[in-house]
Amino acid sequence: MRWFSPQRMKKHLAFALAVSLVAMVPVSAFAQVLKISMTKTNVSIENVLRELEKQSDYTFFYNDNQVKLNKKVSINVSDAPIETVLNEVFKNSGYTYKIVDNQIVVSTAAAAAKEVQATQQQKQRKISGVVKDAMGEAIIGASVIEKGNPTNGTITDINGKFSLNVGGNELQITYIGYMPETVSLKTGVASYNIIMKEDTKTLDEVVVVGYGVQKKANLTGSVASISAEALESRSVASVSAALAGQIPGVTSIQTSGAPGSQTGSITIRGKNSINAASPLVIVDGVPGTMDTIDPSDIETLTVLKDAASSAIYGVQAANGVIVITTKQGKKGEKTHINYSGIVSWASPVVKRQYVNAYEHAILYNEAVHNENPNAVLPFTDEDIENYRNGTYPSTNWYDEAFKKSAFEQMHNLSISGGSEKTTYNASIGYTNQGGLTDEISYKRYNARMSLNSDINKYISVGVNASGYRGIKEDGWMGYVTVAQGVSRSYPTDPVYAEDGSFNYSGKDNPVAIQDQSGFTRSTAQQLNATAYAQINILPELSVKGVFSLRHDYTNQEGFKKHFTYGNFDSGLREGYDEYYNHNRYTSQVLANYNKTFGKHSIAVLGGFESFEHIYKFTKASRKGGGNNELTESLNTLDASSQKNEDGGYEMSRLSYFGRVQYDFMNKYLFEANLRADASSRFPKDNRWGVFPAISAGWRISEETFIKDNVSWISNLKLRLGWGRTGNEELDPDDIYPSIPTYAYEKYMFGNSLYSTAYESRYVNNYLQWATVTNYELGLEAGFLNNMFGFELSVYKKKTNDMLLYMPIQGVIGMSAPAQNAGSVENTGFDLNLLHNNRINKDWSYAVNLNIAYVKNEIIDMNGTEGANSKNDKFWYIEGNPIGSYYGYVANGYFNTDDELANYPKRTGKEQLGDIKYLDLNGDGKITADGDRQIIGKNFPSWTTGLNLTLYYKDFDFSAMFQGAFDVDGYYMSEAAYAFYNGANALKRHLDRWTPEHHNASYPRITKDSQTNFTTSSFWLQNASYVRLKTISLGYNLPNSFLSKLGVQKAKLYVAGENLLTFSDLEGIDPEEGDERGWSYGNVKKVSIGLKVSF
């Protein structure tokens, strides 16, 4: 919570607004604007007033001896001003009322007249004072009213001071967020210091859930959210990357810092399947995408982590749900213009340290000698000395190929406001990210608007629309090829030949290929449009219809130039042009019924949804001919080489769903969800699936034995839930036979060749839903007015009938079909620890520590344990996690001739300094079948995030640490082996085995050792880490300065991303996940930002 500078600014604005209202409406200067809906039949006036207090912030005052409110009245209003309601209630009753701020005074008409007359006759005296909070901070705009005379009042000024002529003996002071104060006026005392206490229960936080909103206090599922402020001050262009470390149980791994690719891979509470792990994303009520949204446009982001909260989305919710709402205008809000901008300088988190020419010459000679002691060494002693003393140059290929930093910028401009019936919001955004090479760049353009209007008290309509265009460019060879060239270029080779042209030493020159190779470009566009109409049939019942269109268009194109340098020739020119179109249509009908009767409250949701997805693509390519100047059209290339391809698919889904929420006395809570989905991705006999969920909660803190006896407990709630969700992550074509034509196989009929076709896909007509069943127990608590608190969830979820592409016995000449084969289980807990404190009027702070643990285990693989089809590094074995590394267990080096002669070997070619492996089955030899086992895993068991916030006057400071533990990284090939596949050595390879140095980090140096270069625990590294994910320091410019500029508020800040990383990994970023070291890698950023509101 912000206690100081933002609050002060808010008070200044409240003061200005209050002064304006006093000038415009003298009698009811503090009246609020709200709408009342109520249906009452033959009830007392007192009953109506109590209901009005529930629906608003108003409090009624009256004299029990004069005002009797037992008269029966009937009323039926919807979205009516409170004055209309009161006029109807007090019609012909003999009573009247006055509204001042959030107080309504009821009196008899006669008494009101006498009171006015008495007041006018009473001797007035001048009372002054100052109103402050508990920390001595002035409260600006507080309402000060003479008790018993509600027409006589004022508000505190910018210093919290007031002055008022009164004739009575008491003052009533009120301010939103604080408890009302009554001050007794003493004879002879004209000045008063008034301290107001905060009201920690004034507002109930509302959380966005599936197809609606709900009070956080009444949630029975596991739901977590983060604020818009947590996203806006980050220098990341993607929302997914900003989630890292924010919510317990949500793992966001950012594998790349490349422009346009700074996204996070999100997993919620472990991996539920081998093939699918991404959560469903809902944007403004309909399925959407997360990373095409400008973070500045987001109002709320909520994560539905368990089935009790996510089962309302049925078959799409197996991996959790992320619900995003974008910013909307507010009723009665004046027009606001907001600008936010940030500029950043990005540089690699990890810069790979290659050996210099001197070190290279020594290691390369050693590698040649280790493989053949009789070989002629490539570098003489004189060469080595010349490299050492600088006579011969040494090329740092990394610095030659890559820039030290890249410039990025993000800007967002928005306007919002509203009248009594209509609200609006519109924004535009621009992102421009440079890369570590001149060829890499990314530009993104965002636009968004929303318009909502109450046509009358029965009908509301609205529209949300957004557009996105992203353009990502790179060289034809691309960053990966350049990084590969850097890893394989020797420091003894120069970048340029003596004549100034690019040097060619038998390998790709990474500087040359990025400068001359051509380009690739990906242009992605998205258009979203959602329209709705809502009919309020009754005050308790509404029906809403929604239609949404989402169009995604991507054009991928590239052109390879013909170029030469030295003896290198790039070959024929090439070009390609590809188009991908997705059209998604969503229709919804939602009916909501909400009713409170006595101590009971019930909310019922019923809905229907249809979804259709149409996908088409077209590809074309040519090779040969053309020239290097006309690169934007395939027509310049050889038409005889043209290849064309097109295709696509259609899929649809039909859904019915419902939810019932019930609470008794606001402390006994119950919720039930049910959804039925039919998906065209399954055979027609198995298309329907039903997904139920139930949950309950007990707000223990609302019990009398807690409320009356344990004042330090602010909140205590117990939750229990069970539910089932589904998974339909299949290729939509999998249930249909496929008969493609052979590209090259022909068959002779007579004297003519004819194309041939074949059935390529075996169809499984028994395929059905994969289901995830979730059990959860939760406890939430707050202490000392929520100064301390925690949220704990313990869960177990199991995936059954996992959808896998498993091989079938025999040879049938077709690809393996999808099957329901296997199950996976995740057990764990999420813990969120909260603390906030206000030390004094200048200082406050907040601390949030979240910790999550998950144990992932494959329970059943349906008898098909083993490696996947492409990489035997990962194996799927029952009793072990998804993503388990499988290999030999290293046991040191061969250090002596005796070991070399007697220890079991794998290849029979082992030499001193090579890696030894354990003989697990004890057969005296090292074999793949008997001596490999699970050696590690690539997904963390423990994740954590620590958020620190500190406020001092107009300054704010925040830092967020993110960590992952009990996770391994397997780095091989050029990232691990010196001189492998022609690569250069890294600095860390200097610590290698030699006859004089056995306690080394790496085995003996060789150019290509099949003995050492195999999957084993030796190359496995502890990938646990703690990272300073973000840090920022902000300053809110003072209102006295901004008012002269016509600015409402402004903030300057500096920020950093990924500035510090604590890890045992060498030369690899722990989030990168690239075993060869060629990916772009994460970046660290230093940023300067500005936020301004008008």
Q: 729: which residues sit within 8 A by CB, 6+ positions away?
A: 273, 275, 276, 803
User: According to the model, what pLDDT value does residue 870 have?
Assistant: 39
Model pLDDT, residue 945 = 95
Report the distance separating Cα 428 and Cα 423, nearest Å.
Answer: 18
Give the list of residues 6+ apart from residue 457 with CB closer than 8 angstroms, or none: 78, 79, 80, 536
Cβ contacts of residue 399 below 8 Å, gap of 6+?
none
Residue 818 has pLDDT above 60, yes or no: yes
pLDDT at 728: 81
Residue with tokens 């200005």: 16
Amino acid letter at 764? Answer: N
**Of the candidates 461, 463, 462, 469, which has an alpha carbon nearest to the alpha carbon of residue 428?**
469
Mean pLDDT of the chain: 86
Q: Looking at the predicted structure, is the pLDDT value of residue 508 above 60?
A: yes
Whether residue 867 is predicted with pLDDT greater than 60 in this model: the reply is: no
Q: Compute the distance between CA of residue 927 and CA of residue 929 in angstroms, rounded to an integer.
A: 6
Region 205-219: what's the mean pLDDT? 87
**Integer angstrom CA distances of residue 816 from 666, 767, 805:** 54, 13, 6
Structure-derived torsion over alpha carbons of residues 131, 137, 139, 140, reported in degrees to the nearest 10: 120
Q: Which of 142-156, 305-319, 714-728 has the lowest mean pLDDT?
A: 142-156
Give the torsion sign (CA, 150, 156, 161, 163). negative
CA-CA distance, 775 to 270, in Å (whole number)? 14
pLDDT at 431: 95
Q: What is the pLDDT of residue 813?
A: 67
Q: Which helix (H) or strand (E) holds 284?
A: none
Which pLDDT score is estimated for 199? 64
Does position 872 have pLDDT exceeding 80, yes or no? no
| Paired tokens of 168 | 């009575």
Alpha-carbon torsion (267, 273, 276, 280), positive or negative = negative
Provide the strand spans (E) within 839-938: 843-860, 866-867, 874-876, 884-887, 890-893, 915-917, 933-937
Question: How far is C-alpha 562 from the chain's CA centre?
Answer: 43
From the list 655, 658, 656, the residue with the least C-alpha distance to 694 is 658
Task: Give the length of the chain.
Answer: 1094
Residues of the chain with pLDDT > 90: what percent?
Answer: 51
The answer to whether the CB of 817 falls within 8 A of the CB of 736 is no
Neighbours of 300 (CB within 10 A): 17
Specify the long-range contacts of residues 558-563, CB closer than 8 Å, at least 24 apart. Answer: 558/476, 558/518, 558/519, 558/520, 558/521, 559/476, 559/518, 559/519, 559/631, 559/632, 560/476, 560/517, 560/518, 561/476, 561/516, 561/517, 561/518, 561/628, 561/631, 562/628, 563/512, 563/516, 563/517, 563/628
Q: Closest Cα to residue 733, out of 756, 688, 767, 758?
A: 767
pLDDT of residue 807: 67
Q: Is the pLDDT of residue 211 over 70?
A: yes
Rg (C-alpha) for the chain, rounded Å, is 35
Contact 124, 82 (CB under 8 A): no
Of 56-65, 127-136, 439-448, 455-464, which range is least confident? 56-65
User: 581-602, pLDDT tens digit by residue?
Assistant: 999 999 999 999 999 988 999 9
**What is the predicted pLDDT for the residue at 878?**
87
Instruction: Please determine, for residue 201, whether its predicted confidence score (pLDDT) is greater than 60.
Output: no
Taking each helix axis from N to C terminus, what angle separates 82-89 and 45-55, rounded to the nearest 10 degrees?
A: 170
What is residue 742's predicted lDDT score, i.e. its pLDDT? 63
Q: Tell me, what DSSP letter sits at residue 627? A: -
Token pair, residue 751, equals 């004297």
Whether the per-residue pLDDT at 209 is higher than 60: the answer is yes
| Segment 156-161 long-range contacts (CB within 8 Å, at least 24 positions apart) | 156/15, 156/130, 156/131, 157/15, 158/12, 158/15, 159/130, 160/130, 160/131, 160/132, 161/128, 161/129, 161/130, 161/131
Q: What is the rounded distance in angstroms from the CA atom of residue 269 to the CA atom of residue 255? A: 19
Instruction: Return the pLDDT at 972.
Output: 75
pTM of the model: 0.80
pLDDT tens digits, one per residue of 998-1039: 999 999 999 877 788 888 999 888 999 999 999 999 999 987
pLDDT computed for residue 111 by the predictor = 62
What's residue 110's pLDDT? 67
Where is average pLDDT lowest: 350-359, 554-563, 1000-1009?
A: 1000-1009
Q: Higher confidence at residue 534 or residue 750?
A: 534
The predicted structure's pLDDT at residue 228:
78
Q: Which two tokens stand for residue 523?
A: 């242009």
Which residues face 1039 on adjacent strands? none
**What's the token pair of residue 689?**
């699936």
At residue 263, the pLDDT reads: 74
Question: Strand 212-215 vs strand 206-209: parallel, antiparallel, or unpaired?
Answer: antiparallel
With vertex at residue 587, the alpha carbon angle to CA 582 and CA 592, rounded to the nearest 5 degrees, is 145
Q: What is the mean pLDDT of residues 83-101?
A: 81
Q: What share of the chain is helix, strand, coil (3-state, %, to 5)?
A: 15, 50, 35
Q: What is the DSSP letter of 488?
A: H
Phi–psi pair at 375, nearest 5 degrees: -70, 150
CA-based nearest residue to 775, from 800, 795, 799, 791: 795
